[in-house]
Amino acid sequence: MFEEYVQTAADLEKYRNAPLADERRHFLVHLRAQGYSYSRVRRINNVLLAIAIRLKWGNQKRISCAELSAAADRWIAQRTRPGTRPRSIQGARTGFISVGSAWLRHLGRLEEVPIQVPFAEQFGAFLLHLRDERGLADNTLICRRRSLAHFFGWLSERGISIGTVGPREITEYFSAHRIRPWKRATVSFHVYTLRSFFRYAASRSWCDEGIPAMIDKPRQYSQEGLPEGPRWADVQRLIASLNGSHPTQVRSRAIILLLAIYGFRIGEVCRLRLDDIDWRAERIYLHRPKQRKTQEYPLIATVGEALLRYIREVRPRSAHREIFLTLKQPYHPPCAAGLGTIVITHIKNLGVRLPHYGPHVLRHACARHLLAAGFSLKEIGDHLGHKSSEATKIYAKVDLPSLRQATGEISALAQYAAQCQREATPFFPKGSLAALREVARFHLGGVQ
């Protein structure tokens, strides 16, 4: 392995005789399997040699971050020449520590200080309760964890224990965040999370039983808002703008087609795996953790071509089975927030004005487009993977342009209703592949 990255016999002998040669060799193989380029691995090989020489190794000894930082300082002091820019010195030191941390972590010899979380015991017990007893999805657990971590941090800063929390402390917590642009839905989410925790805490005798009932939330109305998404003509422009050959455009086109045509959520796109596409049968299998089921979709030609082009031309070689990976090393599946930022950038580049620009607006645009075409709410709900028809009813309020045209006369309204009835598609049983095929194929309408 070392002979691939050194040029002279003397250098090869030096790399082979330095400490932990086998461990360094195995780590380089691991990096190549992760898709690291030859030039990157060659640079890392040089840094690994410096790390192996300067760290003090002992049998089964774990290396602390402080020891790694000290070794980096010694290395910098020995190799820095007069006149070297401070920025270059800092970059080299950061690279030494980054490579060293990754290697030691790979060996299981990095002594990492665990992050101290306030009320860690109660926090952990509650999250286990949500996962094991209530069966919440992973994404829901992440949101609950983030909300509670913020609240527990606020309590810890003020020296307040869980057992002494009362209405006053809850009011102060939410009042302290008035400067943040929280909407009623966001406040309601945090209230629901705190209620859930304090119900569990009361059952474990950590707090008074009456605390959950004292946490009030803003009034919300069922289906009070409208789905907010771009017009389908704007979605077509968005897809058409991604016809380039740059890797970012190739990947973005495949992602946006999945979001707009199938109405997938951004997290579902992140979790799509190579095994979820049956190319011969032209099927996509989507695992929905929220409903704990797998849904089958027909693979539309436009989507299939975009995915195939991304996999063949852009997707790096990697042991990861997820379809979409980062474009920069180290290659790994991106998070939903990362892909969401890319989608938001492309939508904003269109110049359309929307209340929100998140990737979920393409799901709304998909539903509105199908509704305007006369598809029934049941068919739209099946296409979007809704468990209940209640989740789809909100889209019954969004065909505003046609309603505005019909406000002139009652006869025009009656004519519009009759037209909608004539254009309604036939009823398909729930989960019918024929229904999903009809819905999925309708979308294109000029998208190339």
CATH of the domain at 161: 1.10.150.130
Q: What is the pLDDT of residue 222?
A: 61
Q: What is the pLDDT of residue 312?
A: 93
- Helix (H) and strand (E) counts for the chain? 20, 5
Q: Which of 89, 111, 133 is the last residue of a domain?
A: 111
Is 16 designated active site?
Answer: no
Q: Do 401 and 302 reside in the same domain of the chain? A: yes
> Cα–Cα distances in Å, from 15 out to 20, 32, 49, 438?
10, 18, 7, 62
Q: Do 313 and 380 reside in the same domain of the chain? A: yes
CA distance 203 to 197: 10
Q: Do 150 and 271 reside in the same domain of the chain? A: no
The amino acid present at 373, given as its one-letter code, is A
Backbone torsion region of residue 118, taken as left when φ is above 0, otherwise alpha when ψ lies between -120 and 50, otherwise beta: beta
Q: Any alpha helices (H) in 176-284, and if so which ranges?
A: 184-203, 211-214, 232-240, 247-261, 266-271
Tens of each residue's pLDDT in the chain, 448 residues? 676 777 778 777 788 888 888 888 888 888 888 778 888 888 888 888 888 888 887 766 788 888 888 988 888 888 877 877 888 888 888 988 998 898 888 888 888 776 677 888 898 899 999 988 888 877 788 889 988 998 898 898 889 999 898 888 888 888 776 546 677 778 888 888 999 999 999 999 998 888 888 887 777 666 556 667 888 889 999 999 999 899 999 999 999 999 998 889 898 999 999 999 999 999 999 987 666 778 888 998 899 999 999 999 999 888 889 999 998 877 889 988 888 999 999 999 988 888 888 898 898 888 888 888 878 778 888 888 887 776 777 776 655 454 444 444 334 434 434 444 433 333 333 445 555 555 555 554 545 4
Q: What is the pLDDT of residue 60?
A: 65
CB-side neighbour CA atoms (13 Å) of 117: 13
Active-site residue identified among 15, 54, 395, 443: 395
Q: Do 257 and 159 reside in the same domain of the chain? A: no
Q: Do 273 and 183 reside in the same domain of the chain? A: no
Q: Do 62 and 12 reside in the same domain of the chain? A: yes
Is 395 designated active site?
Answer: yes
Q: Do 104 and 161 reside in the same domain of the chain? A: no
Q: Do 266 and 329 reside in the same domain of the chain? A: yes
* Element spanning 277, H or E: strand 277-278
**Is 396 contained in some domain?**
yes
Examine residue 330 and say whether the peptide bond preceding it is cis (omega within 30 degrees of 0): yes
**Is 10 contained in some domain?**
yes
**Is 448 contained in some domain?**
no
Is 360 designated active site?
Answer: yes
Q: What is the bridge-based pairing of β-strands 110-111 and 63-64? A: parallel
Is 386 designated active site?
Answer: yes
**Is 305 contained in some domain?**
yes
Is 293 designated active site?
Answer: yes
Q: Which domain holds residue 51?
A: 2-111
Active-site residue identified among 24, 251, 265, 320: 265
Q: Map residue 234 onto helix, strand or coil.
A: helix
Q: What is the pLDDT of residue 228?
A: 73
Active-site residue identified among 271, 360, 369, 383: 360
Count of structural domains, the chain: 3
Q: Which of 111, 143, 160 is the last residue of a domain?
A: 111
**Is 374 contained in some domain?**
yes
Per the CB < 8 A criterion, the answer to whether 35 and 331 are in contact is yes
- Residues 6 or more apart in contact with residue 1 via CB below 8 angstroms: 25, 28, 29
CA distance 180 to 194: 19
Q: DSSP string covering 103-129, please?
A: HHHHHT-EEPPPPP-TTHHHHHHHHHI
Q: Which of 183, 212, 241 is the last residue of a domain?
A: 212
Q: Do 391 and 351 reside in the same domain of the chain? A: yes
